[in-house]
Structure 1
Amino acid sequence: MQQTYFAEDIRRVKKGVEGQGVCKFLNPFCETFGYNLLKVGGRQELASLPQMHPVLLAIEAIFNSRPIAPLSSDPNDCKALIPAHFIIGNSLKALPERAIVAENDINHHDEWSCIIAVKQRFWHQCSREYLSELQSRTKWVRDQPNIQVNALVITHEDNMPPQHWITGRVISVIPGKDNRVRVVEVKTPKCIMRRPIHKLALLLV
């Protein structure tokens, strides 16, 4: 694919042409300046490795912030175990940043604005796919047990900032006439919310 559509860009990269944005259109793979980078999210505005470095760090932080299991069996503990606990022994922190929801929100003359845009696009895609993976895809094939009280879940919320996962404990279930649970009440560190089960991802021990 790259050889077909980006032959000229690849030729210039192999010659060591830097500083002219020759890498920005290589998609999805680009071997540039001695580093193997996987470029995702479409055509990028960031061309060089120094510009991509903050993005790669942000992507690493997103992966290391994913909830993978309950941190304890305490029904009052809403925290989840994340990969960062194995690396630094604590959760990761993310500074507040302006949400970029449309292309015209990006200031293409501001490098940091472009970095934030790439980071947020990756976050929205990654978080949706991760929650989808956690949700069982066999529910249409065979019966699944009802979600239980005290189970730790991730709630799917739109427009959440990067590295921000809402986890909580199920405090009550609301079965239907067929005795199947489709709605539950979840207690998070900040509030109690009622959510349909298709908006939840169960974290197993």
Structure 2
Amino acid sequence: MGGLWEAGVKSAKHLLLRAVGNARLTAEELQTVLVGVEAVLNSRHLGALSQDPSDGEALTPGHLLTGGPLIAPPAPRTPDQQGLTCLRRWRLVSSIKQMFWQRWSREYVLGLQARSKWQHQEDDIRTGELVLIAEDHQPPQQWLTGRVGATHAGADGRVRVAVVRTSSGAEYRRAVHKLARLPVS
């Protein structure tokens, strides 16, 4: 009965409240923050856009809404309130949006990674799968995605490292715990 998307709403509300903290925002500033949060949530990956192994593009809710990826509009200029200059207010709103992005993207990637008990063996990442690459310091709404080009097994025969090629042609060698399969393939 909607448990999956309700859990996403709960997570977003929790992170937004943590990001805003004690800050007193005007209606325009709160609207700017909410538009940024909406753009972040609608930039998450749903699945591969095509089955072509050379395509690193992923389908997002933004593609369904506007036909392409969403870009957050620039923050509007606000008047001086409570002794804060416009620049300080803009920095406050920007830092709230950045804090939300950092926390949400970290939790989203962790949520995509399979966590199973040691009694159940999960399938290894295979060549050609579209994955998100967990990278710190990514700008908001920009997910680093790529296709697995090669895998390297450990001594136990399980895949431990994968070589991932992005759509820009760059190759990354990452441990599998830094990669997340997209929820729908």
- Superposition TM-score tier, normalisation by shorter sequence: 0.7 to 0.9
CA, structure 1 residues 95+169, in 2 after alignment: closer, same or farther (shift >3 Å)? Answer: farther
Match for 1:156 among 129, 134, 141?
A: 134
Matched, 1:114 2:92: yes
State the partner residue of 2:71: 93
Does structure 1 retain, via aligned residues, the 8 Å contact 2:36–2:72?
Answer: no
State the partner residue of 2:159: 181
Structure 1 runs of 4+ aligned residues shifted over 6 Å read: none
Give the match's secondary structure for 2:136. coil
- Aligned equivalents of 1:138, 1:112: Cα separation in 2: 43
Unaligned runs of 5+ residues in structure 1 are 1-27, 30-37, 97-107
Q: How many corresponding residue pairs? A: 159
State the partner residue of 2:178: 199
Matched, 1:166 2:144: yes
Rg larger for: 1
Q: How large is the Cα RMSD of the aligned pairs?
A: 2.1
Does structure 2 retain, via aligned residues, the 8 Å contact 1:120–1:162?
Answer: yes
Match for 1:50 among 22, 28, 31?
A: 28
- Aligned equivalents of 2:148, 2:156: Cα separation in 1: 20
For residues 57-109 of structure 1, give each alpha carbon's deviation from its aligned partner in whole angstroms, at most 9, with x where no partner exists. 0000000000111111110110000000110011123589xxxxxxxxxxx64
TM-score by length of 2: 0.79
State the partner residue of 2:79: none
Q: CA deviation at 1:122?
A: 0.2
In terms of fraction of residues, the more helix-rich structure is 2
TM-score by length of 1: 0.72
Percent identity of the aligned residues?
40
Unaligned runs of 5+ residues in structure 2 are 1-12, 75-83
Q: CA deviation at 1:46?
A: 3.6
